[in-house]
Amino acid sequence: MQGENLHHVFWERRAYKTPIEKLARNLGGLVIRVDIDNHNELHAVLPPPPKPPHEVLSDLVVYMREVGAGKDTLEGLEAASTWFDRMGLDDIANNLEWQHYYLSGEYND
């Protein structure tokens, strides 16, 4: 293990330009402190999640604030994945589930 760094659930940064997009991308619970090896593996094999529409990002910000998803932990990623699944945005939910798989280190099991 090389240490830890921060993973943004929504990447690439350059794709998130408007104020609500930047807010959602940098929201506590969606920026996660992770093991560097797991982080590198995720980015080596997984494409960025599809970018949610603007109105969906606004609703996501409200939801994440309401549930108080944990900062710097996988709890926020789990909450967001569940939310996208309930909204019927399966492509995003699936990507977030794969992110969890890599960031949790489950791929090493």
User: 53-68 pLDDT, tens per residue?
Assistant: 999 999 999 999 888 7
Q: Can you give the pLDDT at residue 52? A: 95
Q: So where are the chain's domains?
A: 4-108
CA gap 16, 106 in Å, rounded: 29
- In the structure, what pLDDT confidence band is assigned to residue 85 with cuts at 50, 70 and 90? very high
Q: Can you give the pLDDT at residue 10? A: 96
CA gap 87, 71 in Å, rounded: 23
Over the stretch 31-56, which tens digit does the pLDDT of each residue have?
999 999 999 999 999 999 999 999 99
What is the model's pTM?
0.91
